[in-house]
Structure 1
Amino acid sequence: MNVVAFFIAIIIFIVLPYIGLWKLFQKADRHGLEAIIPIYNIYVMLELSGRPRWWMLLLLVPGLNFLVILGITIDFLKCYGKFSLAEHIAGIVLQFIYLPKWGFDKDTKYLGLSATPEFREKYKKALKKSQAREWGDAIIFAVIAATMIRTLFIEAYVIPSASMESSLLIGDYLFVSKVNYGARLPMTPVAFPFAHHTMPLINTKAYWDGIELPYYRLPGLSDVKKGDVVVFNYPMDADSPYFRPVDKRENYIKRCQGTPGDTLSVVNAQVYINSKAAITPPNGEITYTVKTDGSELNPQIAEDLHLSDMQSVNNTEFITNTTEESAKALRGYSNIKSVTPRISPRGASDALNAVYPAAFANSVLTPKIPDYKWNVDNFGPIVVPKKGGTIKLDSLTYPLYARCISVYEGNKVEVKGNEIWINGKKADSYTFKLNYYFMMGDNRHNSEDSRFWGFVPEDHIVGKALFIWMSIDDNASSILHKIRWSRLFNLIH
């Protein structure tokens, strides 16, 4: 957000509503200064509407406090004769227009304590709701409540790809907790309810990026830990052609392998953190070469052992993705001669040949990238950036962190020959403003993750995957087998 947009937002969301509130307080014989004192002004609104003072305690409950503020605002508007649904919506959504309008309107007067029986009896005709109004109020409340639950507590998510198999399968429906790491408050507040970044059917943007708020996260139960299965916004959506705001970038799900300050490396497909071998997910998959005696593999065996992405090499050999446990079981069949992991040795070119940071070679930020000789099975070592941590910038380190410095932390970065300039000043070091994470899919040879596009900033973290509440197999042969009953309500480890 530039300076002009920032000041416009201040005027719209703070100055104008406070001016309107000042005038409305004066109409009720309260001092206008009470309107601009945060929290205390809510207390005064309770007094003016006749609600009990203990409602202030409800403001301490995350999620519920938002609904309470809505209720207090509506009661407050009723004190001034604003009884219609349209007036309530206007007084909440367009406060910067309607609060000043009503505050300066000579015909708008304070009528009394709107929450009292006497007030309701006196204005019962105006307060009487039609059936349409009752339905409208119910729908609006349901939308607000559901939005608050999704934003602050828990949200449903579906697994769209095979990158987490066999830990998570395509068609698994999960609940993702916002409470564990602390709910991230909306950064793009003007958006269509229940649509993420694109409107269904019409394929237009489901948000307006004219207003973007700074990143803020409520206190959580814990930090992101190594081994957690995490939903986050895909960092690459910051680039062309999308240029999406942080909270409107595509949702991805991976397992956290590296946390801020860790030194991570992958050696022969084994992840090491600070020189110690990390726990390998028991249901994680890699690619194996399977040699047979020439006879065909029973399709039922392939299904039972979850052999995915099977590709025939010749009459006696095929390639498949599966778990280590399934590979061991496969070796026990008489027609199987060998089952060997397909591991790319250090320095070997990968089939995709675009691991981080080579994928960003020749860009404006990284015109020169050394040959680190990394691939998906032999990667690093690399230090995961930590908030407040300082790194030395040189030809070896700069390509690893250029994207963090420029794209995620909003600095202007230029490379002039062998010199690095940040915000117009020559720099030989940099101190990070955010924490970062290194994410990897459990299906190590079929996952687009941090090995390809780098680190995940903390402001991209959405929540922690908790459990599977439904699992649907679209490839099932019959309707009766569509639901994977054994996966329902399984906790995610």
Structure 2
Amino acid sequence: MPVTELFQKSTKQKKKKSSVREWLDSVLFAVVAATIIRWLFFSAFVIPTPSMENSLLVGDYLFVSRLHYGTTTPITPLQVPLTHQTIWGTKIPSYVDWIQLPQFRLSGFVDVKNGDVIVFNLPVEHPNAFTKYSNVLPDLHPHPTDLRSNYIKRCVAIAGDQLEVKGGQVYVNGEIQVNPARMQSEYIVSVSTPVNEENVFHKNGISDYSQFTETFNDSIAANDEFGYVVKTTSDLASKLKTYDFVKRIEPIMLSKGLKEPFLFPTTDLLDWNKDNYGPLTIPKKGTKVTLTGSNIDLYGEIIKNYEGSEGIVLESGRITQNGKPLSQYTFKQDYYFMMGDNRHDSADSRYWGFVPKDHIVGKAVFVWMSIDPNPTNFFNKIRWDRIFRTIK
């Protein structure tokens, strides 16, 4: 080829992209970049329920770091980008599970600690477990591990810990644990006269309350007593005591030995309730346990569903592997025990059990926006005092 012709071809201008092509390229780049950031670095979530109040409120938008504990590789690769379970605004599944990849966790820079606020995939959406817990969580549906519903709770016990709740107070390894600063409990507020609920409750940031009469609970409310059942923090409960029309305030606690239905584990051998729970030991990787009638109810489900062991059958209080009774077992991964800060209004590990490490999504870091779903007026729609608040 003559040099002049080569030069002419090299100096020809490239064909200019159409505006539609440029727009499509920009959209594709944005989707790919957002997908990588969402998977590798951090994800945005919104709080839909009051289970973490008063630490996190319904309408809080938060960033969750995937770097802290190490992000996990996708298990279900055939999925519409930037979706979770369904396509936006529909009930159409956003994935197909024809291909299931093994999961790996990249290196993080910290381990899960007691007191961390954590987002995780709900374990009981496992195909073998979801129907059993429908009384506690009626909207459960089976999903692959990485596409199970995202829950946020506080980790109160890590692998290897012994946990016990006594009178609503958490103990770990026999030591009393510091309660979250904004932990919410349930109180009876007895008053001498009906109150202005707007001035007394709403202005103090109390949204969850209801009236009671003496028929509420004979052991708590006396005859002819009038008042409210209020979910709030201990500080706000102390403030309510200062009002001259408040006769008394007492925390509502279930008595030790009063068995609560639908608690984990499902057994008649234990008389636990949400205020008096345990003791129990959280499974730890490499720990061997002797399986007995008393602990198969605790550990049988995780051995069957989350350990990846072949041939496990759990039936009638017995656990077998490939037809042979299993008398001992060594755990293959760490587990955690999660509780909501709204201790009387949280469907957490007390009701559905342990969270496996491979279900951990990330650590909740800070609230970047907060929108009140039920504002007193339009100007109070945004909770300005919560924007960029770190999560403790």
TM-score normalised over the length of structure 2: 0.88
Q: 1:466 aligns with which of 365, 368, 374?
A: 365
Q: Which residue of the partner structure matches residue 102 of structure 2?
A: 214
Aligned 1:5-84 pairs, distance under 5 A: none
2:167 to 241, 260, 268: 268
| Residue 172 (structure 1) aligns with | 60
Deviations 1:313-334 (A, max 9, x none): 1261221101001111111111
Query: In structure 1, which of residues 388, 403, 409 is the aligned counterpart of residue 301 of structure 2?
Result: 403
Deviation per CA, 1:64-95: give whole Å up to 9, x if none.
xxxxxxxxxxxxxxxxxxxxxxxxxxxxxxxx
The answer as to 2:254 corresponding to 1:355 is: no
- CA displacement 1:326-351 (0-9 Å, x = unmatched): 1111111111111101111111133x
Match of 2:219 in 1: none
- The yes-or-no answer on 1:235 pairing with 2:123 is yes
Residue of structure 2 in register with 1:372 after alignment = 270
Superposed, which structure 2 residues align to 1:179-328 within 5 Å?
Answer: 179-238=67-126, 239-240=130-131, 242-314=141-213, 316-328=226-238
- C-alpha deviations, 1:186-228, integer Å up to 9, x for none? 1111110111001134411111111111121111110111111
The answer to whether the Cα contact below 8 Å between 2:115 and 2:156 also exists between their aligned partners in 1 is yes
Distance 1:349 1:304, change over 3 A: farther
Aligned to 1:140: 28
Q: Which runs of 4+ in 1 moved over 6 A?
A: 123-127
Establish whether residue 449 from structure 1 lines up as the match of residue 348 from structure 2: yes
Q: Give aligned pairs, total.
A: 363
CA contact (8 A) 1:438 1:450 kept: yes
Greater fraction of residues in helix: 1
Which digits, 9 at most, give the CA deviation of each residue in 1:38-66, with x for residues without a partner?
Answer: xxxxxxxxxxxxxxxxxxxxxxxxxxxxx
Matched residue, 1:345: 255
Q: Tell me, in whole angstroms, the C-alpha distance in 2 between the residues paired with 1:415 and 1:285.
A: 37
Q: Higher relative CO (CA 8 A, sep ≥ 6), structure 1 or 2?
A: 2
Q: 1:449-479: CA deviations, max 9, x gaps?
A: 0000000011111111111100001211222
Q: 1:295 to 1:420 in 2, by over 3 A?
A: closer
Offset of 1:123 from its aligned partner?
Answer: 9.9
Partner residue in 1 for 2:135? none
Deviations 1:382-437 (CA, angstroms, capped at 9, x unpaired): 11111111111010011001111011123333356664312333211111111111
Name which of 329, 337, 340 aligns with 2:239. Answer: 329
Return the alpha-carbon distance in structure 2 between the equivalents of residues 405 and 245 of structure 1.
17
Residue of 337, 340, 352 corresponding to 1:438: 337
Unaligned runs of 5+ in 2: 1-5, 132-139, 214-224
Q: Compute the displacement of 1:184 (Å).
A: 1.1
Counterpart contact for 2:297–2:317, Cα < 8 Å: no
Per the alignment, residue 423 of structure 1 pairs with 322
Secondary structure of 1:163 counterpart: helix
> How far did 1:125 drift?
6.8
CA distance in structure 2 between the partners assigned to 1:415 and 1:343 by the alignment: 34
Task: Report which stretch shifted further, 293-302 or 475-484.
Answer: 293-302
Q: Distance in 2 between matches of 1:271 and 1:153?
A: 32
- Contact 1:177 / 1:465 at 8 angstroms: preserved in 2? yes
User: 1: CA distance between counterparts of 2:11 and 2:364?
Assistant: 50
1:370 touches 1:396 (CA, 8 Å); kept in 2? no
Distance 1:153 1:252 in 2: 18
TM-score normalised by length of structure 1: 0.70
Q: 1:215 to 1:275 in 2, by over 3 A?
A: same
Return the alpha-carbon distance in structure 2 between the equivalents of residues 225 and 143 of structure 1: 33
Q: AA paired with 1:237?
A: E
CA separation of 1:122/1:347 partners in 2, compared to 1, >3 Å: closer, same or farther?
Answer: farther
Larger Rg: 1
- Structure whose residues are more often strand by fraction: 2
| CA–CA distance in structure 2, aligned partners of residues 418 and 322 of structure 1 | 40
Give the counterpart letter for 2:275 in structure 1.
Answer: D
> How many Å apart are 1:294 and its aligned residue?
2.9
The amino acid across from 1:477 in the alignment is T
Please list the CA deviations of residues 121-165 of structure 1 after superposition, one character each: whole Å capped at 9, or x if unmatched: 749677753332222222111110000000000111100000000
1:260 CA drift (Å) = 0.6
Once the two structures are aligned, what percentage of the paired residues are identical? 44
CA deviations over 1:10-57 (Å, ceiling 9, x no partner): xxxxxxxxxxxxxxxxxxxxxxxxxxxxxxxxxxxxxxxxxxxxxxxx
Distance 1:415 1:227, change over 3 A: closer
Query: In structure 2, what is the Cα distance between the partners aligned to 1:134 and 1:424?
Result: 61
Render the CA deviation track for 1:352-400: whole Å, top value 9, x for unaligned.
x211012xxxxxxxxxx34211000000111111111111101001100
Instruction: Establish whether residue 485 from structure 1 lines up as the match of residue 373 from structure 2.
Output: no
Q: Quick one: distance in 2 between partners of 1:295 and 1:423? A: 65
SS of 1:255 mapped into structure 2: strand
Once residues 291 and 253 of structure 1 are traced to their aligned partners in structure 2, the CA distance between those partners, rounded to angstroms, is 33
1:383 paired residue among 281, 285, 292:
281
How far apart, CA to CA, are the structure 2 residues paired with 1:221 and 1:134?
39
Partner residue, 1:97: none
In 2, Cα distance between equivalents of 1:248 and 1:471 = 25
